[in-house]
Amino acid sequence: MTHVPPFPLHEVSDHDFTPSGDFLNAANFGATGSDFVTKGRMEKDSFLLVLEEEGDFREGNYLSFDGAYFHIYGTVVSEGAPYLAKYQTDLNGELEAEGLEEGIFQQTFVLHFHGDGTFSFLAADPKHQTMDNPEASVTRFWKFQGEHLPVTETWQALTDGVKIRFRRKEWKKGAIIALHVTSRLTAKILKKEGNFLTLDRAANCDAEGGKVAHMDQIPLQNCVDAAIKEHKNVYIPAGHYRLSDGLTVFDCSMTVAGAGPELTVLDISEAHTACFWVGGGREFVLKDLAMVGSTPYDALPCCRPFITDAGYGYWPTANQQMECHGSAALNLSGTEFVLCENLSVSRMGSEALYLHGSDRGGRHPFIQKPHEGLSSIEKQYTKQCIFRRCRVFNCGFNAFNNNDFAENTLIESCHVENVGNFCENAARFTRVLGNYVYNAHTLTLCAIRSPKEFTGLSQAIVSGNVFEGGRQNRGLGIGGDEVIVSSNTFSGFSKSTAIDVHGRKVVLSGNIVDLTQDSFCPDHWRDGVNITGRSIIVSDNHIGLRGGKGKEKTAGIAICECARNLLVHDNFFQSCACGIRSGTRMAVRVYEEDPTSSSWDRPYEALSVKITKILPGGKYECAIPEYLLGAPMLEGDWVAVDAEGKEILLSPLSLTGARSMEFTAKEGVFSEGKTFRIYPKELNWNFHDNVFLDCDKNMEIDLPFSRGIKIRD
């Protein structure tokens, strides 16, 4: 069986060609780049592989053969935070496994322990995961195939013919095992005689009819290692290169270049890793190649964790748990200057292009297992990272993430289509310029918390982009401070919010926000701009619908009562249910036990709290809308309104949990179980020179103007 290559191959020999500059050619280290695939057979304990077709295999090549080597491996995560390597160890005799149904060569399970002698399991496989979206604005949820099963030393069936039995019975609440059950032999060809290959490893079971393919992991890594030693760069010629572990590039400066993304393809579709693990060093450049992973868009609930019994989010596909069921193009920590250019990235279940590390204040980076022991990443941080002319498509999670605590991220002229998220960014001095994004959670600019003198700042510019519709999650989320969003087009944006402003010192200017329902998207309640932050300028924007259904669920700008210091002027609102309104759409949990399952697809409500407990000394505990009032939003003086409409001044509010806070009142009667509306003592909202066309209501401000609301012209 010969597989047709997905790209044209040159008829010239790449062994004799390298690009200009000081490059080592991977072909000269035995990397074949061959896309040839056939079938084979082996007997248990034999080193002899018999091929159905001879193909282009040569002595010294490496290959993989499905079905010839049954084994298990995995990661044990203690009850601690699963995204930290210090809580992760390799699976080592904690359980046994046997069995795989015929025709299945690999399955990945997540075992979640409840601390009471039981566990639940899920298979990280599209055929075992739900396609159900119970709410329009939330992403899919992980589905367990077995729940609260006893932890015993007897055999228990999972799925796809796999059975397990535990050798360790005591597990703490919230512990996790990521278990891989696989039957795939990887080996080196020692001798070739026609269709008969002698390998350096024996089969441990009889196998017939499994896929035989080239495996270029070791030759490519040998080329990289030689380039590091000789202070040179790496050229990967045209071809299809399969990887099993990803390539490590540590503590060096290097360029890795292909022959172009249509010609050079790195394939990790049968692995759970990144194509490149990069750490330390001054400069890394990756360009002119394609990388293909294992998980296409919407195949798995990649954008969502499940919450362990210890209270942590476990992401079976994300970078921090990549060894479970992840795939990424690049995972980089601490390299000072980074350039990714002219890349094609697809089918990545984890963050496709992912950077993490320290900052100028010396904050400890997230350490993943491949980066353990790399001391340089504790001492330096990424000072500049550029993603230019990259195409990311058909991926389960983020196209770009995170540059955690780094500086000077530039994403420009990239094309992103059908991914879980376009970008989640926690860097400082971020610029997102001239990109096209379709059907993705648009962009999240996170507030960063280190070093202390820069707490909360993101300092970002988002300009000249086209963000087009789709059904995936929400729009541009601004959680950080000092952000300019200008001259962007939001087209067919029927997701819950086009621009969501939580931060401070934010300017929105010159954007077109089209709230017309996308044909692939449910008819959400939706806002052009939703404001919960402070010190915001919104000016010279055009917000509205082209026509069609859904008008009754739209607002041009929706302002939560916790927002303060707003200047909204010279905007044009067209065909909205309401141009500018107060109120918010409260986040509501779809599943009560899962705090990640909140949906914003709700009508507008006034901000209110419910008294849950009366404490001594005039102090009260109350429930608040989840995800709405972060600690920065609670600052300043607040007012509660009782049933008679009387305003009662509250002390500064203090957050006591994700869904609760406390306050002190010197007067007024607050009864347990009663609900009170609240808003800041001083709002300072200023609206002028806005134009409304064909809106059912121009403005609907349900707050006392005496609290600092001014409207003119």
- pLDDT value of residue 386: 97
- pLDDT value of residue 627: 67
Structure tokens belonging to residue 70: 């049954």
Query: Domains (ranges, CATH) in the chain?
Result: 608-680 (2.40.30)
Ranges in the chain, pLDDT < 50 = 1-17, 136
- pLDDT value of residue 15: 41
- pLDDT value of residue 510: 98
519: left (phi over 0), alpha (psi -120 to 50) or beta: alpha
d(CA 45, CA 38): 22
Owner of token pair 């479970």: 324
pLDDT in tens, 500-536: 999 999 999 999 999 998 777 777 788 999 999 999 9
DSSP per residue over 548-611, as a string?
SS-GGGEEEEEE-TT-EEEEEES-EEES-SEEEEE-B--BEESSTT-TT-EE--S--B--EEEE
Instruction: Say if residues 511 and 487 touch (Cβ distance below 8 Å).
Output: yes
- 111, 556, 577 from 574: Cα distances, Å: 52, 8, 9
- pLDDT value of residue 7: 34
CB contact set of 343 (below 8 Å; sequence gap of 6+): 261, 286, 287, 288, 289, 290, 291, 329, 353, 390, 391
- pLDDT value of residue 582: 95
Structure tokens belonging to residue 69: 């080597």
